[in-house]
Structure 1
Amino acid sequence: MFAEQDRGQTREVFFRAWRAHREEQPLEGVEKLIVQVVLRHPEYHALLEHPEPARERDYFPESGQTNPFLHLGMHIAIEEQLSIDQPRGIRGYYQKILMRLPDEHAAQHHMMECLGEMLWQASRQATAPQESVYLDCLQRLLGSPSKV
């Protein structure tokens, strides 16, 4: 979705979409999906309403910080994957996860673990993300009742 944009441009799309929503302006393209995802994350509303501190901020997972833009972006990626069933079979995994969890949001959070693993491995190995890594992780997740 945001592959060709730099960090600042990507964040600006989030700020613009949330501002348009708050001002009851029409949403365009991906802005509708962004707002839908942000509405499920009230913990990020203030950040998006006051963008200056977050515009250039770095978030360090090793310090226990969650990057809100990465988190929201992963939700958006999963929504897009589910809408077109890409990688092939992702909807089936999602439906199986949903049978074990209370809601769609919780199911996506579990899927994010696998999406993150795929992206981390690709970054570490300097390769393109491998769908097989993602799908294998989802399969392992479903095979372990204690995880889902």
Structure 2
Amino acid sequence: MISGDRNQMRQVFFEAWRKHQAGEAMEPLEKMISSVITQHPEYHAMLNDRERFLVQEFHAEGGESNPFLHMAMHISLLEQISTDRPLGISELYRDLCRRSGETHTVEHQLMECLGRMLWEAQSANRMPDEQAYLDCIKAL
């Protein structure tokens, strides 16, 4: 799924959703993607309009959020949790889910920490600080 080509990455989302709706067999990553999409009904119409949204620009400065980035962050987070990388994130996630009872909300909270860590790393032109990321999650 990692690619520098935005349209190629978006195609993965469109194809996973198409397969999900058609009841076709899917690879594990496609299953994860379709699971994330299922949790976001606000994106279903968009994912049914490949031609338009494959090239759609989303401008944060105009108040638009990028649904592909949002879903990709969910997937990144789920991958981190499944591999426990950074070390300890799985336990923190499970603890927050137990306390909250709402996994999707917890994922959004962790995504805020993830986004902050990535923004800080990019702004400082350095590697992401995993300890700062975990500290942010612990503070939730």
User: Structures share a fold, TM > 0.5?
Assistant: yes
Deviations 1:89-146 (A, max 9, x none): 00121123223323110110100100000111122122222212211211222xxxxx
Q: Which residue matches 2:18?
A: 19
The percentage of aligned residue pairs carrying the same residue is 44
Count of aligned pairs: 140
Q: Which residue matches 2:57?
A: 58
Deviations 1:20-45 (A, max 9, x none): 11111111231110001111111101
* Alignment partners' CA distance in 2, 1:24 and 1:138: 36
Deviations 1:41-85 (A, max 9, x none): 111011111122211222122222111001111111111111111
- Letter of the 1:132 partner, please give it: Q
- Letter of the 2:133 partner, please give it: Y
Q: Which residue matches 1:41?
A: 40
Q: Which residue matches 1:125?
A: 124
Q: TM-score, normalised by structure 1?
A: 0.87
Can you give the 5+ residue segments of structure 2 that lack an aligned partner in the other structure?
Answer: none
* Alignment partners' CA distance in 2, 1:101 and 1:108: 11
Can you give the 5+ residue segments of structure 1 that lack an aligned partner in the other structure?
Answer: 142-148
* Alignment partners' CA distance in 2, 1:131 and 1:3: 20
Structure with the largest fraction of helix: 2
